[in-house]
Amino acid sequence: MINILAGSIIKKKIINNTPNFITSVDKIKVNILSGKITVKNLQLTHKQNLFNLTAPKIELNKSFLQLLSANLDTLKKISLTHAYLHINKTNGKENNRSLNNKHNTLFIEHLKLKNCSLIITNKEDTILNLKEININATKAKITPKSKNFTYPFNASKYDISINSVFYNYNKYESLSIKNCYLNNQNISLHNLKIVPKYSKKELQNHLKKERDWISLNCNKLNISNLNIKKNKNTLINCKKITMDSVNLHVYKDKSLPDQNKLKNLYSKSLRELNENVNIDSIFIKKSNITYEEKLNKSEIPGVITFSDINADISNLNNYKPGNSTEINLSSKFLEYADFKFKWNFEILNKNDEFSISGSIKNLNTQSTNRFINPNMNISATGYINELYYTFYGNNYNAYGNMSMTYRDLSLKFKNDEKENKKLVSLLANIFIKNNEDNLKEVKIEVERNQKKSFFNYYWLCLKAGLMDNIL
């Protein structure tokens, strides 16, 4: 009799505490002695269709006195199986107010979710979709949204797995993850993808200014020893990030106007983050990059590829002075050439000073024609045996040196007038001399266009060294 009465009290409490919802419960079973409550087939539907919860089975535990008062702010244990939560986000302030009624923080000694789902939508599309959510957490705290809240969910210990993640994060791309595992310190993501919503050609019809088309696949991403603290500023500490088998494809169509705004070097962008970040090491393994660029006058885009990329980034820190970030990368360039790259910069150095050094070996220049032919109206034959460079720079200018050996190198210039084309090509090749045995060193100095990217700056340095070496 007491168990039935307690069940009735709890059912009434649920209905009274949800005035903006249509609430239905098939059955509430209570055991006063153990403090166990079982709720079957709970259905909460917001009257303005902003929120819908379907829970076939909920199990919770409370102490005897709390059970009689039906106070659900503190629970010993709660378990949900196959629960489905749908949140419909709208722009109406009144609607959002009705959903965000004031609630106290909920403390749960042991929280368990099994094969649950969450979907968040707006009027047009799905924003977030999580499938097969499994959570096992102890000393969990769920905090309602407020001005002072840090994170809505926290726990002293937790293990979370999600079988499928879909996040519609902007107008042009969405993010998906096949399997996601995380606990207090580690995150493991499998088959992470950034998926473009439009084809390369279709994207241009949705843009007023130039924007990259991006596609990314990452077989596995691991984050180790992650610790996030929030006081005045969020502090993100991480021991190691590993990215395995990344395939990045970037396409740039320059037929649209440029953004025409100043572009920071990476040191400044990292320095101006709202969060304090300290990552000891980042490793990228067995990865590939394809970059395509199409100019106004070219019918096909120029293509550059980097394959079998292995890279490590050390000491990425934007709040401790005196720390230098170092990036080391090796790959195959245009399939067969050996490419090495080393980049150092100090994030807190407000002059944004950096150094870059590297080498290219065994480059058949015919492989570069896929890029230089459509974009620069030049085709090349011959071989670069060895090329070494060291550049130093800041936000304004760069200087350094380059040395190289090459053989049988010649250039052909495309031109609408055949005679002019032959003449320009002939004159250029008269001045190109084989330099197969001795490294010839030249000095370079270039000025940065601050409305272009860092990699444009890097290319200007390489271009200056190449032209001075072969002409």
**pLDDT value for 422:** 46
**pLDDT value for 295:** 81
117: left (phi over 0), alpha (psi -120 to 50) or beta: beta
Residue 37 lies in a domain: yes
Residue 73 lies in a domain: yes
* pLDDT at residue 290 is higher than 80: yes
- Element (DSSP H or E) covering residue 205: none
* pLDDT at residue 26 is higher than 90: no
Total structural domains in the chain? 1
Alpha-carbon distance 375 to 134, whole Å?
Answer: 51
* pLDDT at residue 91 is higher than 60: no
63-77, 169-183, 288-302, 349-363: segment of lowest average pLDDT: 63-77
25-39, 206-220, 314-328: segment of lowest average pLDDT: 25-39
* CA-based end-to-end distance of the chain: 99
Name the residue with higher pLDDT: 409 or 314: 314
pTM over 0.85: yes
The alpha-helical segments, DSSP class H, found in 210-305 are: 266-271
pLDDT in tens, 246-259: 999 999 998 888 88
**pLDDT value for 353:** 97
Identify the CA nearest to 244 among candidates 219, 280, 279, 224. 219
- pLDDT confidence bin for 240, thresholds 50/70/90: very high
- pLDDT confidence bin for 431, thresholds 50/70/90: very low
* pLDDT at residue 4 is higher than 70: no
48-52, 61-65, 335-339, 344-348: segment of lowest average pLDDT: 61-65
Alpha-carbon distance 167 to 264, whole Å?
Answer: 28
* pLDDT at residue 12 is higher than 50: yes
Identify the CA nearest to 327 among candidates 348, 313, 317, 341. 313
Residue 94 lies in a domain: yes
Query: Encoding tokens for residue 453?
Result: 């990217």
Name the residue with higher pLDDT: 63 or 458: 458
**pLDDT value for 227:** 92
Identify the CA nearest to 410 among candidates 379, 370, 442. 379
Residue 293 lies in a domain: no
Identify the CA nearest to 130 among candidates 158, 175, 164, 160. 164
10-14, 26-30, 66-70, 296-300: segment of lowest average pLDDT: 66-70
Could you give the percent of the chain with pLDDT greater than 70? 83
The alpha-helical segments, DSSP class H, found in 70-194 are: 93-99
| CA-to-CA separations, 283 to 176, 178, 357, in angstroms, rounded | 22, 21, 19
Mean pLDDT of 374-403: 92
Identify the CA nearest to 186 among candidates 143, 238, 144. 238
Mean pLDDT of 342-367: 96
Mean pLDDT of 342-359: 97
The domain of 36 spans 1-178
Query: Encoding tokens for residue 395?
Result: 């936000």
Count how many Cα atoms sit within 13 Å of the Cα of residue 191 in the half-sphere of its side chain: 9
* pLDDT at residue 400 is higher than 80: yes
- pLDDT confidence bin for 306, thresholds 50/70/90: very high
Alpha-carbon distance 306 to 337, whole Å?
Answer: 10
Counting beta carbons within 10 angstroms of the beta carbon of residue 199, is it exposed (0 to 12), middle (13 to 18) or buried (19 or more)?
A: exposed
**pLDDT value for 9:** 64
Residue 201 lies in a domain: no
The most confident of 93-107, 272-286, 403-417, by mean pLDDT: 272-286
Could you give the percent of the chain with pLDDT greater than 90? 56
* pLDDT at residue 111 is higher than 60: yes
- Please report, as a single letter, which amino acid is at residue 91: N
Number of H helices, E strands in the chain: 8, 21
Alpha-carbon distance 32 to 354, whole Å?
Answer: 69
CA 200, distance to chain mean position in Å, is 20
**pLDDT value for 150:** 52
**pLDDT value for 107:** 84
Q: Which residues contact 43 (CB under 8 A, 6 or more apart)?
A: 22, 23, 24, 25, 53, 54, 55
* pLDDT at residue 352 is higher than 90: yes
**pLDDT value for 435:** 65
Residue 198 lies in a domain: no
Residue 95 lies in a domain: yes
With the CA atoms of 117, 120, 125 and 128 taken in that order, what torsion angle do they form, in degrees rounded to the nearest 10? -70
Mean pLDDT of 383-395: 96
Residue 35 · residue 63 · CB < 8 Å? yes
Mean of pLDDT over the chain: 86
**pLDDT value for 51:** 83
Alpha-carbon distance 119 to 124, whole Å?
Answer: 14
* pLDDT at residue 304 is higher than 90: yes
**Residue 145 has what DSSP assignment?**
-
Residue 284 lies in a domain: no
**pLDDT value for 14:** 67
**pLDDT value for 74:** 75
pLDDT in tens, 201-227: 999 999 999 999 999 999 999 999 999
- pLDDT confidence bin for 100, thresholds 50/70/90: low
**pLDDT value for 426:** 42
| CA-to-CA separations, 434 to 24, 202, 365, 438, in angstroms, rounded | 85, 46, 14, 10
